[in-house]
Structure 1
Amino acid sequence: MIPYLVTVRHRRSDGRWLRLYIPVLPILLVLSPLLLLGGLAACLATRVSPVGALRGTGRLLWALPGTRIEFEQGRTALLVSVR
């Protein structure tokens, strides 16, 4: 299943949380022409098979739901959750 929502929580140095909800599908639809052209150019520049790169990207996206990434340094924290 492709992820459909990314939640980013950032704790500022004053202790307040900033929460962002980022829908994945609308962003992919808007940026898809740029992603395809950039990906094709990168594949041609590095002599990588575009089909293999697309297959690897699909597998990576398929594995992302349920991923949770946390960083904390001092009084600042960042939490990224993929659903």
Structure 2
Amino acid sequence: MIPQLVTVRYRRPDGRRRRLYVPVLPVLVVLSPLLLLAVLGGLVACLVFRVSLVGALRGTGRLLWALPGTRFEIAQGRTAVLVRVR
């Protein structure tokens, strides 16, 4: 199952907090031309570096399948960022 929603929460240095909800499907539709170029670039890279195309696609699929439930937290000084994939 592909992720449906990415929540980005961050705290600015002045202490104010923001929360952004990013739906994945509309972003993929808007960025689909770039996604197509990235896939073609990946295919060319697999051929140049002699990597199994099926193995690379399988690994990418497993990575996308594992994304829901992932949580990234980064804090530096008074600034903090939390990214949650649902």
Q: Shorter-chain-normalised TM-score: which range?
A: 0.7 to 0.9
The verdict on how the C-alpha distance between 1:45 and 1:19 changes in structure 2, with shifts beyond 3 A counting, is: farther
Tell me what 2:62 maps to: 59
Backbone CA RMSD of aligned residues: 1.5
Runs of 4+ in structure 1 deviating by more than 6 angstroms, as ranges, are none
Tell me what 2:20 maps to: 20
The verdict on how the C-alpha distance between 1:70 and 1:6 changes in structure 2, with shifts beyond 3 A counting, is: same
Tell me what 2:47 maps to: 44
Deviations 1:29-48 (A, max 9, x none): 42331221121122122211
Q: CA deviation at 1:27?
A: 2.8
Unaligned runs of 5+ in 2: none
Paired amino acid for 1:27: V
Query: Alignment partner of 1:43: what SS?
Result: helix
Unaligned runs of 5+ in 1: none
Identity among equivalent pairs (%): 73
The verdict on how the C-alpha distance between 1:78 and 1:24 changes in structure 2, with shifts beyond 3 A counting, is: same
The verdict on how the C-alpha distance between 1:28 and 1:45 changes in structure 2, with shifts beyond 3 A counting, is: farther
Q: CA deviation at 1:13?
A: 0.5
